[in-house]
Amino acid sequence: MSIFTGSGVAIVTPMYEDGRVNFDKLGELIDFQIAGGTDSIIICGTTGEASTLTDEEHIECIRYTVEKVAHRVPVIAGTGSNCTREAINLSKESVKAGADGLLCVTPYYNKCTQDGLVEYFVDIARAADLPIIMYSVASRTGCNITPYAANKAFRSADNIVAIKEASGNIGQVAKIAQLTEGGLDIYSGNDEMITPIMSLGGKGVISVLANVAPKLAHDIAASYLEGDVKKSADLQIRCMDLVDALFCEVNPIPVKAALNLMGFEVGPLRKPLTQLEAKHEEQLVQAMKAWNLL
């Protein structure tokens, strides 16, 4: 059984102006997401600025989210690292916290070979008894999960059950589906490719777009799952300007700006990320107005 189907939000981590995590605001965002139809909450991923959270903050965000969600939807904890030992520690803590699954990004900066990737995922799987979603986003980590490595990892541990595919390479997605014979769940890691990936058997999306438009992201995926491919495709095409605006600078700079424009007061980013440039803010405002988000 899939951890979830439909739209999972890669939720932002709200901050106070002094940089502390704003847990009250995180709770508000979680309720907003569930009310909007979001099918899963992914906490401490890329969009959640996990790379600048301390271990203590990281674990507390996961604990808080599990408690706040209270089994309304699955909670998936981001626990990947460029150190296998650290990834295992975060994964074990997520098990204790009551998470429903783990999202494990590939090691970054030091990278590794494809055989090393397989060992990394299998080591985490053996240490933490939760379903694992491998996360392939070479544009940020410099380390792609090839279809052959994805298949080998999938067949090496029963709890490696899915992949978040953010390579932008639809041919790679098709090859993963072929090699794993449909047994490995595939989630789009790119908001502009939800419908295309679902056409290859994908189960949905782990979305940045859902932060500001949860119903829209949900409807793109849900329409496909319900057999209304035309509606899914139409929504996918119509939202492209909004998706482009949410990625006009490195994620999560634009999406945090968008939430602040919507009045959510999610606060600043942690350095080295900086405020959205004025020219991009205008692009974002126009795209949001087209969807009545402002």
Alpha helices for the chain (secondary structure H): 23-35, 55-69, 84-97, 114-127, 138-141, 147-154, 170-179, 194-198, 214-225, 229-238, 240-246, 253-261, 278-290
Structure tokens at 52: 């600048």
* List of residues 6+ apart from 201 with CB closer than 8 A: 177, 182, 186
Is residue 135 annotated as a catalytic residue, yes or no? yes
Q: Considering only CA atoms, which of 39, 57, 40, 37 is closest in space to residue 49?
A: 57
Q: Considering 25, 68, 152, 164, which one is annotated as catalytic?
A: 164
Look at phi and psi of residue 16 and say left if phi exceeds 0, alpha if psi is from -120 to 50, else beta. Answer: beta
Q: Considering 64, 120, 135, 187, which one is annotated as catalytic?
A: 135
Residue with tokens 């380390």: 143
Separation of first and last alpha carbons in the chain = 38
C-beta neighbour count of 6 within 10 angstroms: 24
* Residue 246, phi then psi, degrees to nearest 5: -75, -10
Which CA distances in Å does 292 have to 153, 192, 213, 273, 287?
43, 20, 10, 28, 9
Rounded Cα–Cα distance for residues 184 and 148 (Å): 12
Active site residues: 135, 164
